[in-house]
Structure 1
């Protein structure tokens, strides 16, 4: 709280701990927690963002000297606060070995009597595990590529995909919604499903004739494990799958020549939610060659040890990604992608949250991890690696509270807690928000699929409940259209060089955002019960061992 708020409280004869959201039924905050909240500083928040978005960091691309400057900065800040190292070998860092793979020219796709044009009819993702890969196999069409019998839908039911090249459409499955749709349509899920059914190749058919094939000229990045094997990849999930690529709608049409059912009837069935999988009367030969560039990058990991004799061996994670896009194509005369909002603000939030915890004389019962992640812009790679191979026992992590681009361009007057509805974290968010006078709203942009697009999702797929708090829609003038304002800002600034410190910021909103995330984490760290998935929740059943 501000000095003015403190003075008002004292003038009214109230202790600092008596301040709570007017009209709420919340118990007043303990004095120590209120004092910790007051340690969060808008000026320090701005200073963190200013440094991390400085030109000398060159856009914080993983594996570059600029990214290392960011690592050194946040490590230094954690040290100043007395946060202990929790990375590899009692350091503050976890090494993340990144492999950028490139597709070499000359990849081919052909069938008897037919050849397809690279770049127009098909494209291949580079294979991060095999410099040269070739496969000849029959082709099957597997609809959306979904196998979810528990949802009453299975594109693989009755389909023999063993040793085959599986073709799937990237059109939208209208019969699914919510978390089920988010999970089922994620590319990683589709590839894992194909591998589980024995496929040796996967071709993704774009959704519309006007949709361009993906451009992987800058390569595709994976994470190598300690033994040099691919540990995390968004495009190759199994050594069994030799080739992954995309094909145009015209190419898909050619694949269907001679099939039992044509594309018109096939897609008509899919639009009604009925599987329309079938073998196709074509055998393809696919060949791709790849080359690699390997670099070391780092997650930064610090900890504050909890005070509970038993619960100190469990951890609440506060995370944010440290990387951005580096140097790229010039936009309006600027080619340096500073990433001030994305995600210097998220990192600043975690550093201010760490300051609040560090100021507590009596630490919360559970321990707290502060994890600044690499490779988010490359496909959630640093978080996927940390969540899968954490520097503490995986089973000891009870929750992740992620901070990614809070978009502090206006006062923070309400919040949207992405993913909170999946678990008991929903109650923790509601309680913390009420303490700060922040109404909680539903996601105004569900079509954006934001919950699976940021680092918290890496924890979810490891069975760990997670939440990512975003701005709400409430505005000071009562128009309550902040999401529209953010969309206009995003259209001209998001992932552009113009996302620099000279843009629009409300650092008091950043301060309040950090305070809220601290309160959520503190409550979870104090609660004797670890967070649980809600009964019947899709993610809980899929990843958390729930019923």
Structure 2
């Protein structure tokens, strides 16, 4: 499946395989890239992780003084390397205003034959843009809430949802799979579909009687735009939808009272992949108040200008999230979540990648952006804001190579390039991996949906091909069970205070991982052709204007 050619041997036993863009290049150019790759240091990698995972940074929660220390550190490192600032007004920082919204006590849902108990029958999501909301509207049932005619399925076909409170089930649409299901069932997609059809509210029904309603006591976080309105959110869309709530399976039964089809027949049809949307009888009134806590946080953005007079106006992004989850309840006497692996290692990778680019006398043809995101742990918020409001024209960003928790706990022998299969980046990754003696494997944990759970997905939704390289399964002893070891590591360390510098690390693997990502980015920056979505790819059709 993967092809590579033109191997050049460049001293000190280093085998360098020229990327596709080098097929007609001269050996001195390839030698300079190999020398740049060699600048990436395991010692420096460890030093970055040690600083970022220190207790002084208090777990780097977005918007806190500890996170600001991380911002200052990364900005200083880029400045030392001669990287140009590319944030707001000639600075390294891009301002990201975070709003944590809470639903105040006293929210109510009534009508449809009675009233409902908040916390037991219904839980309301806070509205981050309107502090007080009161909506009275007729009810309609819209199946899974999916409107995807391109997939041959549309719960809104023939349904008048304008001015209505839309009820949807969160049951599993088994007739969809893979990327299509991940996108179609995402809460934000459900809300966008409802807004596009003029709904004023959405009630999300639990699929089973035993299902717990979400605990929203810690609030939900959105990003405000330059105009002070909500610009990015995972649980709110601007427009007609004012109320979002989750209701129990028992509440769904009550809302169906008097409907033409009862829930048994309706849900059975949906399980067969047959839309079963219908008007419901009566109407409901929903009222809620929301309160807000606004804080300032920042993305850090640096630029290395390209060398080609035309292509330097296009950009390859190397990204990593800078935040972690801060201070939580103690675990074994420790409450600071240092985030050494998640994601100090990713930040260290991008800083070392910056060093490699900076050492090149002849920069690649395209420009390179080095972006360190806030709010990933809050729902990919900093990356979503950057991808929507980049400091360069959005159409000029050609690819994102994201780095999030590579989990460097053993020698790096193989990799899993999440998302590469969607675009021509697949070939680029194969070239870079081959040059470092790495094999490329399929995702060993497809059920984890890892491709949509990190910052690269924010770029994908803006039509930008992206890849996130994770560990593979190969091990030096031939057991090839690294995935099992990583799962055991996650059970003990992931999102816990134990993820600190005293844990298990293989910094030589970190060096190789950063070298790999550098070579991927360099190839894309050097190739005159932009990366393209594969024909018929779902993400390409949905976001990239493809067929």
Following TM superposition, by how much is the alpha carbon of 1:364 offset from its aligned partner in structure 2, in angstroms?
0.4
Is the Cα–Cα contact under 8 Å of residues 17 and 34 in structure 1 kept in the other structure? no
Q: Is 1:339 aligned to residue 335 of structure 2?
A: no
Match in the other structure for 2:151: 151
Aligned to 1:4: none
1:356 aligns to 2:356 (yes or no): yes
Distance 1:226 1:187 in 2: 25
Q: In structure 2, do the counterparts of structure 1 residues 457 and 14 end up closer, same or farther at CA, with 3 Å as the change threshold?
A: closer
| Cα contact 1:15–1:31 (8 A) shared by 2 | no
What is the distance in 2 between the residues matched to 1:282 and 1:492? 51
1:82-481 alignment runs, 5 A limit: 82-481=82-481
SS of corresponding position for 1:56? helix
Cα distance, 1:233 vs structure 2: 1.1
Tell me the secondary structure at the aligned position of residue 30 of structure 1: helix
Paired residue secondary structure (2:138): strand
Unpaired stretches in structure 1, ≥5 consecutive residues:
1-8
Q: How many residues align?
A: 535
For the structure 1 residues 255 and 502, does the alpha-carbon distance in structure 2 shift closer, same or farther, using more than 3 Å as the test? Answer: same
Residue 18 of structure 1, CA deviation = 6.5
Work out the CA distance in 2 between the residues paired with 1:154 and 1:204. 17
Between the aligned partners of 1:280 and 1:70, the Cα distance in structure 2 is 52
Instruction: Name the SS for the 1:227 alignment partner.
Output: coil
Per-residue CA deviation, residues 471-525 of structure 1 (Å, 9 max, x unaligned), is: 1111111121211111111122111111111111111111111010000000000
Alignment check: 8 A CA contact 1:339 1:495 kept: yes
Give how far 1:119 is off.
1.0
Task: Tell me, yes or no, if the aligned pair for 2:10 and 2:16 is still in contact at 8 Å.
Answer: no
Task: Quote how far apart the aligned CAs of 1:112 are.
Answer: 4.7
Change (3 A) 1:483 1:207: farther
1:19 corresponds, among 15, 21, 27, to 15
Under a length normalisation based on structure 2, what TM-score does the superposition of the two structures give? 0.95
Q: Distance in 2 between matches of 1:14 and 1:501?
A: 35
| Residues 53 and 340, structure 1, Cα contact 8 Å, conserved in 2 | yes
* Partners of 2:476 and 2:308 in 1: CA distance: 42
Could you list the runs of 5+ residues in structure 2 that have no partner in the other structure?
Answer: 1-6
Cα separation, 2, equivalents of 1:485 and 1:508: 18
Q: Deviations over 1:1-36 (max 9, x none)?
A: xxxxxxxx99xx9536971479x9x97881111111
Report the equivalent of 1:493: 493
8 Å contact from structure 1 (residues 306, 365) kept in 2: yes
RMSD: 1.8
Residue 209 of structure 1: how far off its partner (Å)? 2.4
Aligned mates of 2:145, 2:112 — CA distance in 1: 26
Q: Is the CA contact 1:400–1:456 (under 8 Å) kept in the aligned structure 2?
A: yes
